[in-house]
Structure 1
Amino acid sequence: MNLEVHLDERDLAAALRADVRTGLTATPKWLPPKWFYDARGSELFDEITRLPEYYPTRAERAILAARSAEIARITEAKTLVELGSGSSEKTRLLLDALLTHGTLGAFVPLDVSAAALADAVARLDAAYPALSVRGIVGDYTRHLHHLPDGGSRMVAFLGGTIGNLLPAERAGFLGDVRGVLDPGEWLLLGADLVKDVRTLLPAYDDAAGVTADFNRNVLRVINHHLDADFEPQRFDHVAVWDDGNEWIEMRLRAREPMRVPVRGLDLEVDFARGELLRTEVSAKFRPERLRDELAAAGFRLRQRWTDDDGLFTVCLAQAA
């Protein structure tokens, strides 16, 4: 199996320790959303994507189903790179279109989970025997320089994950992607659009409580890896729309005062009743903001598509 490892369990453990210490000693407290995703967190997120309230996955899939052939014609990409690839299920629409167009020779999925990536690469090898599949175990904020050079590449960053980055982080990430691409190569970016709050909020606070369980999972991850004593049921799930920043914030709210030992860090964390711990930001975009941020990073927006309901967008930008 063609798997290149630049991130191992020791790296992940060190990053978790650093993030948890920094976030839980900050005012206000915060944690990065990447720590939702142990095996249970990934299962919960897969369940979220099938909920009636959660529109982004369905909307993006509809765009890709309708536009992948057009994307293949415009880009004639020989190498497709996917950042944060997961199972690469939606990406098969692009793979099929590019293979049908006759240009694609290689697929390079990058993800932090070696086990998940190995499974995905094995399934892709079986499904596409004529395609060279090379998995890279790495963090897309740190390991882009390990992507293979040249070959008329298109980098795909889908799912609206760009919205989980704060503005300065987003600018740095887009600049880093541009830095590894040659002029004329491509970025395919999925982004959620600003819309009515009555549509937005239920996507992050579903009636069945799956998102609430997913949000609390970050506490279980800390318990498991850092020998902490969080009791997830003592925290309420909160999702709010920040109109000024045009993003959803997911938070955990302490139901009562508590002191939580995190023995792996030799740390005790105090929470006041009602204190909030921010676990995710999910920015929503206006088309002109996407265009301007891409331009600032050195990309020229070539095409932009939306689903029939105008909920989500996929942008095709070319390195200038």
Structure 2
Amino acid sequence: MSKAPSETHGVLTSAGAGSTTDAAQLREESQVVIERRLDPGALRERLAEEALAGLLREPLRELPAKLLYDERGARLYERITTLPEYYPARCERAILNRRAPAIAAQTDASEIVELGAGSAEKTRALLYALAGRSRLRRYVGLDVSAEMLEQTARALVTAFPDLRVHALIADYERDLAAIPPPEPSAPRLFTFLGGTIGNLELAARARLFGELRALMRPCDRLLVGIDLVKDPSVIERAYNDATGVTAEFNRNVLLHVNRLLGCNFDPQAFDHRAFYDPQRSWIEMRLRARRDLQVTLGRERRQLKFAAGDEIRTETSAKFRLEAFADELGGTGLALEASWRDQQGLFALVLARPHDA
């Protein structure tokens, strides 16, 4: 499928003929670029194809984890990050709050390029640290959600009056080449936070790191958040919270599939299940049919049968040992430069540089 044409514009709020625009709006318009690399229709078609292929897969049906993050799923995930059981967000935030000044000093960055930007809450500590050094010039946020990214752009130019924001509506697994070129003498800090790297399998991680390395100059750095191998019970609690938000998040993927494929999944006919696989060092989320049932797929009215207990895998999330992760980086032309853990040793931030830096 060919890449959608790029649409670029520099306004989030615009004034029509005869209207008035205040100074804050004018400043925002001059500071923000919105660039769309994803055509909504083409994206929907691609997601539908991946969803259908996964549902027809044998012996274990599987949906790509990206389907979890429709607009409602993204909001549910934001709630998950505030839950007491969900340590990754809390631990990463603690590391950033404590280490952001040191990271800013070590990288001397004046620009942040964030993959999977979302609300950019994860990077606020870094932005403040760079601004405190009078180094912050530009933020480039890449995400598939246009609505969330535009809200993020508005929030950032309000919080940082001198910041320029380039919001890139794109897929980080396909569109890294669309990241705008760096400014001369302006070191960039690429960030991929939240432990999201764990949602990619080994080959996909290698491809992503290799593409990032190709974009990096010797002065640039990459900051990655990784969830560490630990007591499986701690990991499993994080994906099986007592209030059931993660279960709702997991079932919501079926509503997304219903819209994509014209299906009639009943989310309440499935139980949420999450368990740690020590052989693969990852946690899996699945949906298990509570009873025998039949689902109609799309316009062709194709029937998909589930026996009670049949499952759909909806996510895997790898957990890492620091030494093995450093080896992964090394195989793609990157070298581990520094790392920081939270006080309990549950989560880590890893700073990587090009081998030739």
TM-score between the two structures when normalised by the length of structure 1: 0.97
Q: 1:63 to 1:244 in 2, by over 3 A?
A: same
Which residue in 1 is equivalent to 2:321? 286
Deviations 1:88-141 (A, max 9, x none): 012111011011122221110110011111111011111111011111000000
2:65 match: 33
What is the CA deviation profile of residues 150-208 of structure 1, one whole-angstrom value per residue up to 9, with x for unaligned ones? 33211000000000001111111111111221233110000100010121101001111
RMSD in angstroms over aligned alpha carbons?
1.2
Further displaced range: 217-226 or 86-95: 217-226
Q: Deviations over 1:202-238 (max 9, x none)?
A: 1001111111111000001111232210011111111
Check conservation: 2:193, 2:223, Cα contact below 8 A.
yes
- Structure 1 gap ranges (5+): none
* 2:182 is equivalent to residue 147 of structure 1: no
Q: Does 1:77 align with 2:109?
A: yes
Q: CA deviation at 1:264?
A: 4.8
Which shifted more, 172-181 or 236-245?
A: 172-181
Provide the C-alpha distance between the structure 2 equivalents of 1:262 and 1:115, rounded to a whole number of angstroms: 29
Query: In the TM superposition, what are the counterparts of 1:78-117 in structure 2 within 5 Å?
Result: 78-117=110-149
Distance 1:221 1:264 in 2: 16
Residue from 206, 214, 224 that aligns with 1:171: 206
Q: Does 1:15 align with 2:15?
A: no
Letter in 2 for 1:157: F
Q: Pick one of 212, 221, 244 that aligns with 1:186.
A: 221
Structure 2 counterpart of 1:259, one-letter code: Q
Structure 2 residue runs of 5 or longer lacking an equivalent are 1-10, 12-32
Counting only pairs closer than 5 Å after superposition, residues 228-307 of structure 1 correspond to structure 2 as 228-264=263-299, 267-307=302-342
Q: Deviations over 1:30-51 (max 9, x none)?
A: 0011111222212211111111
The structure-2 alpha-carbon separation of the partners of 1:194 and 1:146, relative to structure 1 and needing over 3 Å to count, comes to same
Are the counterparts in 2 of residues 60 and 312 from structure 1 also a CA contact under 8 Å? yes
State how far apart, in whole Å, the 1-side matches of 2:65 and 2:160 are: 32
CA offset at residue 266 of structure 1? 5.0
Question: Residues 267 and 183 of structure 1: is their aligned pair in 2 closer, same or farther, counting only changes over 3 Å?
Answer: farther
Cα distance in structure 2, aligned partners of 1:291 and 1:39: 34
d(CA) in 2 for partners of 1:266, 1:183: 55
- Equivalent position amino acid for 2:281 in 1: E
Deviation at 1:282? 0.6
Overall identity of the aligned pairs, in %: 46
CA distance in 1 between partners of 2:218 and 2:280 (Å): 32
CA–CA separation in structure 2 for the residues paired with 1:45 and 1:196: 23
| Contact kept? 2:48, 2:257, Cα under 8 Å | no
Question: Distance in 2 between the 1:120 and 1:86 partners?
Answer: 7
* Aligned AA (1:274): G
- With over 3 angstroms needed to count, the CA separation of the structure-2 counterparts of 1:98 and 1:230, relative to structure 1, is same
Distance in 2 separating the partners of 1:50 and 1:306? 20
SS of the residue 2:283 aligns to: strand
Is 1:55 the counterpart of 2:92 in the alignment?
A: no
* Aligned mates of 1:114, 1:166 — CA distance in 2: 26
Query: When the two structures are aligned, how many residues end up with a matched partner?
Result: 320
Q: Which one scores higher on RCO, CA 8 angstroms, separation ≥ 6?
A: 1
Could you tell me which residue of structure 2 aligns to residue 123 of structure 1? Answer: 155
Asked whether the 8 Å contact 1:226–1:265 carries over to 2, the reply is no
The answer to whether the 8 A contact 2:122-2:194 is kept is no
1:310 has 2:341 as partner: no
Range moving further from structure 2, 60-69 or 102-111: 102-111
SS in structure 1 of the partner of residue 45 of structure 2: helix
Conservation of the 8 A alpha-carbon contact between 1:17 and 1:265: no
Question: Counterpart of 2:8?
Answer: none
